[in-house]
Structure 1
């Protein structure tokens, strides 16, 4: 059968399934393929707010959205052109976002009567006409994956777990993605379990071959690289929290000050603590405190001692840190308060995003305590935002808020790795001696003396 290839300028794909279906890994690998191909991209990992909700239920649906294009893009998009639904819950939770005419790749093996009743489908949406406005591709992912792995001696349950790699192979064929990086990753990830590595690679290749041979997918798509959009140089795919971490290390190096992070773990800011703890070779010290107040108190003490002091948190933690931030204003101490915003005032929506803390950052202290606020626009921009926040804090001896959010923190995009020689010089001149003489001839230093 002759296959047709259509040229597109951009595509939005959403992988969706249960928390245990490997949608985040699938999305990450497709993103890596897309980044190595040279497209511009933006991603949106979306996790359930509940702690491992029951399988097959709407609260337990996990998804990963990827927007990639042959030109500069800034968001992961709103409406997916393609939805991969691994079960009825994934279809029901996401179908409202897919515009009419969109493509649905549906795992028919999971559309059992019990699974559909669990999410409120009285009849199968694959048969009742409710999906007539979409291009539906029914694919028995479980069956095809188990058949592809028949010679590997795996239990059916273990073979079933590879269905996300079958789906990844199918999507990789549909959009002409390079596959070498995915196979290398799987070999590395399961290096201590070579049989599992071989099974995942076989499932991935089977998905690719299924797209190549089945008559249901008569069209594949190509999105050209975005080579003309970006300056030449070395690029890597980077998430917002990783870019922010690197920005803080760069600021510390450029200021010639040790970096000190006083932090209490909180979603979605914890990744910064995890990442900075790996970089003791840059003079970074990380302190995991017993609570948010202790974390900012430790950071403030480090600022007293001459470090570039940072504390990371989200909305509930900003509330608890307010008193110490007011003290930092009074003491004229540089302190970076990194707020990775999430939804709601408390713990109900740790994995959902809302830019909820702007008014709190601006006004959540006593009067006469203004604080500058820096906000990145994209995941990669978090690197520059960290440098700018540090520049303001050190130059004007003030605490500075940096407001990121869960979408920027967990999402990713290509980042042009900067030339170190182009980074700003953030070194400051500290007072070395007295600035005032008393009547009895005693020389003293007054830190708040006005000029």
Structure 2
């Protein structure tokens, strides 16, 4: 037995698993992040999928990655670069090494670096380490495939099934490196493969083999590491993705409103997991329908809303375009509906597995006619729960369709989530008809304070009515083409959304005397918050205002934005939120930081860009074209 190595304590570490899309890197990364969350570490993950359904084995386009950032306290991003890179083949090393720190430990499966593997990965020489400039002393070169075959030679599994266990050997090696308790991994595998216990046992055997390999040979590293939780907040936690949190938020809203939940959806990357998750919960009264296309998915949800359910439809950007006519029917009929847009790279089918914030103006204005709708943007995987809950509350209490914006980064990413106490969640009160309206009900009679119309569920005696896509008379509910009535109804629908009360935007950091205010919306919160803190550590006065409510904007928006001399709006598009703020706030002339790479922001690039603004002598000018105020990155 080898002597134990020194155990060093770390505050945080970033690990990236990479290999072919069939190598199980997402599973290995999910297990490692779940185990880390279980012991109280803060986590943030970033699954990086290839767009190919199944690229040729060993090809550069077929590499799948999973990055996890683990910290002793709360972490806000998956990290810019990794401290440990697991590369299961030559293509993974070639494409993923750029995400590793110069001093990173690299774990490779030497059995997947043969001449043919190197050729597929387009290496020019057989000395692949030298070609990439990697110090061989930082490489843990292990014959993973050979050792997994030896480990499972008596298992009765065929060769293909054995090779699928290679990810567990790599996971065991990483668990050894970071002193993880393998019993937690074993429990995860037993639960995941509960119906196939022999598969669970074989995977557990391989995980232990990887752990033992690291322990016995020390894998060429000078020490192992431990990341203890410094801040313990007692409660029940789970590692949750944004899509799952969205599903849970909708179920919680249905429970608090006393309604059944209906989801009409058509499968589309990266939103499909919401449908998959909700389909598991029929016992809670959840109804899910996988429709034949996006239009019917949304139309069925409109019908479910008319029938009295909490209705939702989930999709991504291309689906929003297809649903637009049915969404507008919900606008005209003023029915509660939650429309979930998990944004991805575009235009057209674009980058199906990558993340952007490029649907903002589409969900605000991408429908015919004056078509106002509230828009809520989730800020993290765990915030997807609250954002979905609030979107449903607004829809039901104000009788309007509501858009919930997430994106591929937070939808597929995960974090440690403390399960909420249902008793502590606020009640949701659907805006139902009142008894005094019986036999006198008209569908567009409104609450004088909120302008929300009253909801009559079909079948209630005394509340017979008709809704449809044609404009209606505001008094009688009959079809109307009168100019004055149409003008009045457009104004009422607009004012109803404008009257919705949302919480003020909070200014974090140096709120009173910041040299620079950073402004963002939705999923960029973690990266912008981390960049703000990095700049403050360097001695700069910096603040952050991250918007969750996009329409209506918080009441204090103008006061916040006009308070600071220098403001930069950072977003993963070419300036859509900055354009909206210019429209809504007079004389607002921000700097812009725009990036559309399909990847999350890189904190060090944000810091460099924002620091240039702080140190510059000039100010952005509202008389300039917006291109002149963009910071080059």
**CA RMSD, Structure 1 to Structure 2 (Å):** 2.2
- The partner residue of 1:224 within 222, 228, 233 is 228
Following the alignment from structure 1 to structure 2, what is the Cα–Cα distance between the partners of residues 196 and 5?
33
Task: After TM superposition, list the pairs within 5 Å mapping 1:113-152 onto structure 2.
Answer: 113-123=115-125, 124-128=127-131, 130-132=133-135, 135-152=138-155
Alpha-carbon contact 1:72-1:226 (below 8 Å) kept = no
Task: After TM superposition, list the pairs within 5 Å mapping 1:400-419 onto structure 2.
Answer: 400-419=402-421
Paired residue for 1:208? Answer: 211
Secondary structure of 2:13's match? Answer: strand
1:280: Cα distance to partner? 2.2
Paired residue for 2:56? Answer: 54
Following the alignment from structure 1 to structure 2, what is the Cα–Cα distance between the partners of residues 192 and 278?
17
Alpha-carbon contact 2:397-2:431 (below 8 Å) kept = no
Following the alignment from structure 1 to structure 2, what is the Cα–Cα distance between the partners of residues 320 and 397?
23
Following the alignment from structure 2 to structure 1, what is the Cα–Cα distance between the partners of residues 156 and 303?
59
Secondary structure of 1:101's match? Answer: strand
Following the alignment from structure 1 to structure 2, what is the Cα–Cα distance between the partners of residues 422 and 450?
28
Structure 2 runs not aligned, ≥5 long: 449-633
Following the alignment from structure 1 to structure 2, what is the Cα–Cα distance between the partners of residues 208 and 346?
45
Greater CA drift, 119-128 or 36-45: 119-128
- Structure 1 residue ranges (4+ consecutive) displaced by more than 6 angstroms after TM superposition: none
Per-residue Cα deviation, 1:245-300 (whole angstroms, up to 9, x for no partner): 11101101111122121111111111111221222222222122221111111111
Paired residue for 1:22? Answer: 24
Paired residue for 2:349? Answer: 347
Summarize the Cα distance change of 1:313–1:134 in structure 2 as closer, same or farther, 3 Å threshold: farther
Following the alignment from structure 2 to structure 1, what is the Cα–Cα distance between the partners of residues 157 and 254?
50
Paired residue for 2:621? Answer: none
Per-residue Cα deviation, 1:361-380 (whole angstroms, up to 9, x for no partner): 11112342221111111111
Summarize the Cα distance change of 1:212–1:400 in structure 2 as closer, same or farther, 3 Å threshold: same
Structure 1 runs not aligned, ≥5 long: 437-441
Paired residue for 2:242? Answer: 240
Summarize the Cα distance change of 1:189–1:366 in structure 2 as closer, same or farther, 3 Å threshold: closer
Higher RCO by CA contacts (8 Å cutoff, separation 6 or greater) = 1
Task: After TM superposition, list the pairs within 5 Å mapping 1:423-438 onto structure 2.
Answer: 423-433=425-435, 435=437
Task: After TM superposition, list the pairs within 5 Å mapping 1:2-401 onto structure 2.
Answer: 2-123=4-125, 124-128=127-131, 130-132=133-135, 135-152=138-155, 157-190=160-193, 196-215=199-218, 216-228=220-232, 231-401=233-403
Alpha-carbon contact 1:309-1:335 (below 8 Å) kept = yes
Following the alignment from structure 2 to structure 1, what is the Cα–Cα distance between the partners of residues 215 and 52?
38
TM-score (norm 2): 0.67
Alpha-carbon contact 1:152-1:195 (below 8 Å) kept = no
Summarize the Cα distance change of 1:84–1:325 in structure 2 as closer, same or farther, 3 Å threshold: same
Secondary structure of 2:22's match? Answer: helix
Alpha-carbon contact 1:101-1:133 (below 8 Å) kept = no
Following the alignment from structure 1 to structure 2, what is the Cα–Cα distance between the partners of residues 376 and 446?
32
TM-score (norm 1): 0.92
Does residue 449 of structure 2 align to residue 445 of structure 1? Answer: no
Secondary structure of 1:100's match? Answer: strand
Summarize the Cα distance change of 1:96–1:7 in structure 2 as closer, same or farther, 3 Å threshold: same
Following the alignment from structure 2 to structure 1, what is the Cα–Cα distance between the partners of residues 307 and 193?
45
Secondary structure of 1:418's match? Answer: coil
Following the alignment from structure 1 to structure 2, what is the Cα–Cα distance between the partners of residues 159 and 264?
35
